[in-house]
Structure 1
Amino acid sequence: MDWERLGFDFQKTLGHVKFTWSNGSWDEGVLDAEPYLKVHTMSSAIHYGQGIFEGAKAHHCADGVVRLWNIDANARRLALGCERMMMPVVPKQTFVQACEWAVAANFAFVPPYETKGAMYLRPFVFGHGPQLGLSPAPMFHFCVLAIPVASYYSSGLAPIDVLVVDSNDRAAPQGVGHVKASGNYGSDIKVSITARADGFSSVLYLDPKEKAYVEEFSVSNFIGIKYDGPTFVTPDTDTVLESTTNDLLMQLARSLGWTVERRPIHVSELAEFDEVAGCGTAVIMMGIRSITHKQTVYHYDSIDYVSRLYHHYRAIQFAENPDIFGWGTPCASLQDLGKL
């Protein structure tokens, strides 16, 4: 691997882990070297969107140990998504073991500590098998891919310009915005590509009902920072996926003595923030330079506090600082997992 040229793109590795659910239970799983899945043409995932996915990471840390990051939270969120989409829940033990297996089998592709890259894990569950009517699929696959990555944005933490979207909704009230359903993301492609053509690196969605409250960025949660405190503010809404990264950043901010507020954020409050950032598993944190809403442009001249929080977070993530929260989990070897 050319670690210096690593980006956030697909990289072929040695294989992915695949479990199959049929006759009421999950099987023992296999490591599949083939990057293609054979599914029925009438699979419910293809026609009715019965599928969810997760995003997790493993890191080669400063002490030489490879650790899964906040993996229990990913297991809980996947289980919530399975329940909402009428799919069999993947037990936490199975989920964690599958992630460990995927990392261990592709250990040679885990970016070295010095690169500050990560092994991005993509667990997903989908329905397949012959299913013409709208009902739960007769069979399901649970898979975990492991892909070495660098930052989602090549600019890293460098601030970006964002456009507020009024003409499209991120998710519907009382819909599936609170889970990582596959269909939630397809509608964003056109919106984001159009914004990029106009010079914006991302978009910011407002609530679908009133178009007055901040929801989230295209692929990350919203964070506003006020120097008075300092205060960390993030939206409280049930139409947005609860970011596992945002949860950790809130814990970290509190531990640093910051005030943390999770509440509705009116779009007019964009003028009151001293700094703005996005956060998520893929992006970690991204600084925001400006947010354009109709004829108004909100400028943010600093990412000082964003950068402080980011570096505190990354130092724990790579075991450079003590993990007092217990967020990292040492990854088992193939031998420990009984897969040799």
Structure 2
Amino acid sequence: MQNNSNKPKLDWDTLGFSYIKTDYRFIDRFKEGQWEEGALTTDNKLHISEGSPALHYGQQCFEGMKAYRTKDGTINIFRPFENAKRMRRSCERLLMPYYPEDAFVEAVKKVVKANEEFIPPYGTGSALYIRPFMIGVGDNIGLKPAEEYLFSIFVTPVGSYFKGGLKPSNFYVSTYDRAAPKGTGAAKVGGNYAASLLPGKEAKERQFSDAVYLDPATHTKIEEVGAANFFGITQEDTFITPQSPSILNSITKRSLMWLAENRLNMEVKEGDIYIDELDRFKEAGACGTAAVVSPIGGLQVENDFHVFYSENEVGPVTRALYNELTGIQFGDIKAPEGWIETVS
């Protein structure tokens, strides 16, 4: 495919986490009970009915993933089949038709290949962010599932989600809930993120990176960190991450759990992390596709400020996990079987 890009000159070393228009995106439509044959397009505008259920009733979901340039120029996509599976679960929760997993991954590869020149060079620490999403569309006014859907994938080059890269950030425990008990917290749907905008703004106004959310039922246990998952390293070197039906099943978190157990020989647990037992942990962090691994320096809990390893330095276990994960993503460390899909 000829790529006549008019992209601006990008400073790969200073990329932030913001939208940059790339040349191509993939789009497919679900009509009359089946998906059409999707294709690449240069149009980055969606044309939908004003009655689309995505606009009024939030019938939509999305995914986040990344492609990486390796030292030899190969393009690595990190665990895309896991994103396809998770998007299927989100679709099922919202009564949407899922996009077949093999077709999902092939579409991702097409978009990445078509925008190859937007993939940051090896050594910059930046990557190509991939955003698949699905929305319910069509003429509608009543509260019911849509009869038509759009599935699309766009990409944009990104740097670190949190300013400063792998440096400790401080967070603030919010009194707001991210999701309701037995609600849509485990699905990657826009409503969960819309609910986090106000508490996130309040946290930033207080000079914190983002808000930390407690469990919505009892407000005694840590659940999520902004738009990322939480993990802690105990004094005994056990990797612990919260377990709850209202937490998003993070692919990055699952990857870190496997690496902690199989590469760092640590004990790994999912369980309750009570907000009044923070002294159990010598290190803590946030993790996700966008954040990758972000060390938590300190956590503001009402009038108390708790520091984990340091407000200025990254703990050794967190750094080891970060190095292992990013080493795999950028092709410097051997990946477990099935973790990497390459684009040729």
Q: TM-score range by the shorter chain?
A: over 0.9
Query: In the comparison of the two structures, how many residue pairs are matched?
Result: 330
1:93-113 CA distance string (max 9 Å, x none): 111011101101111101111
Query: What is residue 338 of structure 1 aligned with on the other side?
Result: none
CA positional deviation for 1:205: 0.4
Number of the residue aligned with 1:32: 41
| Counterpart-to-counterpart distance in 1, 2:16 and 2:294 | 16
Corresponding residue number in structure 2 for 1:335: none
| Aligned counterpart in structure 2 of residue 270 of structure 1, from 274, 278, 285 | 278
Pick from 149, 164, 187: which aligns with 1:155? 164
Task: Give the deviation of 1:114 after TM superposition.
Answer: 1.9
1:69 is displaced (CA, Å) by 0.4
User: Who is 1:101 aligned against?
Assistant: 110
1:210 corresponds, among 213, 218, 224, to 218
Structure 1 equivalent of residue 326 of structure 2: 314
The equivalent residue for 1:77 is 86
Please report how far the alpha carbon of residue 264 of structure 1 lies from its aligned counterpart in structure 2 after TM superposition.
1.2
Correspondence list, 1:1-340, <5 A? 1-166=10-175, 168-228=176-236, 230-255=237-262, 256-302=264-310, 303-332=315-344
Letter in 2 for 1:322: K
- SS of the aligned residue for 1:45 comes to helix
3-state SS, counterpart of residue 133 of structure 2: strand
Match of 2:6 in 1: none
Give aligned-pair identity as a percent. Answer: 37
Q: CA deviation at 1:301?
A: 2.9
C-alpha displacement at 1:7, in angstroms? Answer: 1.2
CA contact (8 A) 2:235 2:280 kept: no
Distance 1:114 1:234 in 2: 30
Aligned-residue offset at 1:325: 3.7
Letter in 1 for 2:240: V
Distance 1:5 1:309 in 2: 23
Q: Which runs of 5+ in 2 are unaligned?
A: 1-9
Q: What displacement does 1:21 show?
A: 0.5
Which TM-score applies when normalising by structure 1? 0.95
Q: CA deviation at 1:190?
A: 1.2
AA aligned opposite 1:112 = P
Secondary structure of 1:79's counterpart equals helix
Deviation, structure 1 residue 260: 0.3
The root-mean-square deviation of aligned C-alpha atoms, in Å, is 1.0
Contact residue 50 and residue 139 of structure 2 kept, 8 A: yes
CA distance in 2: counterparts of 1:102 and 1:272, whole angstroms: 44
* Structure 1: gaps of 5 or more residues: 333-340
* 4+ runs deviating over 6 angstroms: none
Q: CA deviation at 1:132?
A: 0.9
CA distance in 1, matches of 2:42, 2:247: 35
Deviations 1:148-202 (A, max 9, x none): 1111112111001111112x10100111110001111011111111111111111
Contact kept, 8 Å, 2:13 with 2:126, in 1: the verdict is no
Residues of 1 paired with 2:99 and 2:338: CA distance? Answer: 23
- Secondary structure in 2 aligned to 1:316? helix
CA distance in 1, matches of 2:324, 2:102: 30
Letter in 2 for 1:248: S
